[in-house]
Amino acid sequence: YGSPQTYKMSSQVRLRLLPSARCLYDEPVQVKVAGLKSRQLVTMRARLTDDKGVMFSSSATYRADGNGKIHLDRDPSLSGSYVGVEHMGLLWSMKPDTLHRYFHKSRILNPVMVMFSVHEEGDSKMLAEVTNERLLIGDGVSRILVEERNVCGVLYTPTGGGPFPAVLDLSSTRSEKRACLLANKGFVVLNLTLFTDKPSKIKEMHLDYFEEAVNFLKQHSKVGSKGIGVISRSKGGDIALSLAAFVPGVEAVVCINGCNANTAFPLYYKKRLILPPLSFDFKKFIPTESGAVIGMHVLDNPLAEENKDTLIPIERAKGHFLFVASEDDLNWDSKTYMDQMVERLKRHGKDNFESVCYPGAGHLLEPPYGPHCESCPHYLSDKPGMWGGESRSHAAAEVHMWKKIQEFFRTHLKAGHKATNHGTFLLKKKSL
């Protein structure tokens, strides 16, 4: 990525990002300060503006060592947005300048620009500043809009000829971040958005549409895996589970904070209703002082006798599952749903699954090193939703989960032969 970059605002203070000020979005950087006075107290800050113009920022107080140096991977924050040794704390602790805002990144070719700065104690005079250019798309990775038959999405392909393992990425609302970051790691990824219209206008969903996307990937010239992987979160999780249960060729499913029953809309396949929706009651939303609502108890009990037809028959799946659940999910009871899925598979004599649970994490688990979103507009409610999670625990969960997802897909989506340039990409500036 080139040599480390140093920016200084005074004759002495230097702020450096290692190994470089340019990196991929999901990579950590080392933040180091030198040239301060011995034991000097300073304020470190980070800020960025997302693609909707919302500013996110964080700050933390540090004390330099006897040589006037601060290393964020060694030295503790004494106060501010977080305390303790957190080498990427300035990133995950960033908060929006307006309530109920999510970090939006829709212009994928443009890097996320994070301004790191060091100030005299009290956050007054700036002593040094550096820009961290965090790229979402690596050199050689292509982004292509797909409109083939009924499939409408965005395809990311890695550099090189392949063959590569393939993943279908389902997102509730438009978000390509996870898809392009997986492509950087050597996967062909097709991103589909579940809700291309307002949910209030959607009467039913059809599994055939997602099956077409699976078949599109299977037939792609760069795809060499025996089957297709699927990754999704929330409502998309039950679509992913249904694909595994009903559609051939789905070999690996990552279900992040999903439900074990079909939710929100009737699900059809081959012109036949296969799963009615689990009922929900918006009157069970719990209001909070901030104006956002907690939805943990909105869904009916999927194990109740009257709801048994909504349960997804995951025991039919021939592929493998990775279930991910957050224990502080305020959107719905993800941990309970995961436990019920594990129990169902065990009852059917199945061992084709892994499960991982994260205490202190909230609903919106994403690729690491972005601002933790505690509340933002909910696509099924007219009020913002509370997503849960304690920022430090949530950030640690994202780091662990991101590595786990890649290992899971590499294990269960073996390509025809070893792909070239697998998982390693040089970076260059993309045109804006």
Domain boundaries, the chain: 5-135, 142-412
- pLDDT at 429 exceeding the cut of 80: no
The pLDDT tens digits of the residues spanning 313-343 come to 999 999 999 999 999 999 999 999 999 999 9
- Please check the confidence at residue 126 and state whether its pLDDT lies above 90: yes
Between strands 30-34 and 14-18, the pairing is: antiparallel
Q: Which of 147-151, 289-293, 398-402, 410-414 has the least mean pLDDT? A: 147-151
∠ CA 140-143-148, rounded to 5°: 135
Q: Classify strands 375-377 and 384-386 as parallel, antiparallel or unpaired.
A: antiparallel
> Catalytic residue positions?
234, 329, 363
Q: What tokens does 414 get?
A: 């073996």
Give the pLDDT mean for 261-274: 97
Structure-token pair, residue 64: 């330099």
**Record: fold of 142-412:** Rossmann fold (3.40.50)
Position 6 pLDDT exceeds 60: no
- Dist. CA 87–CA 127, nearest whole Å: 20
Kindly list the distances between the CA atom of residue 186 and the CA atoms of 29, 98, 141, 230, in Å, as whole numbers in the listed order: 22, 37, 9, 15
- In this prediction, residue 350 carries a pLDDT of 98
The rounded percent of the chain whose pLDDT value lies above 70 is 93
Asked: is 5-135 a CATH 3.30.390.10 domain? The reply is: no
Q: How confident is the model at residue 414 (pLDDT cuts 50, 70, 90)?
A: confident
* Contact predicate 308/345, CB 8 Å: no
Stronger pLDDT, 11 or 88, i.e. the higher one: 88
pLDDT given for residue 173 in this prediction: 82
In this predicted structure, the answer to whether residue 5 has a pLDDT above a threshold of 70 is no
Structure tokens at 346: 């065990």
Mean pLDDT, the chain, integer: 92
Q: Element (H or E) spanning 74, and its range?
A: none
Predicted local distance difference test score (pLDDT) of residue 380: 75
Q: What is the pLDDT of residues 345-375, one digit of tens each?
A: 999 999 999 999 999 999 999 999 999 999 9
What band does 226 get if pLDDT is binned at 50, 70 and 90?
A: confident
Q: Which residue has the higher pLDDT, 188 or 430?
A: 188
Whether the predicted pLDDT of 421 surpasses 60: no
- Give the pLDDT confidence score for residue 282 in this predicted structure: 86
DSSP state of 298: -
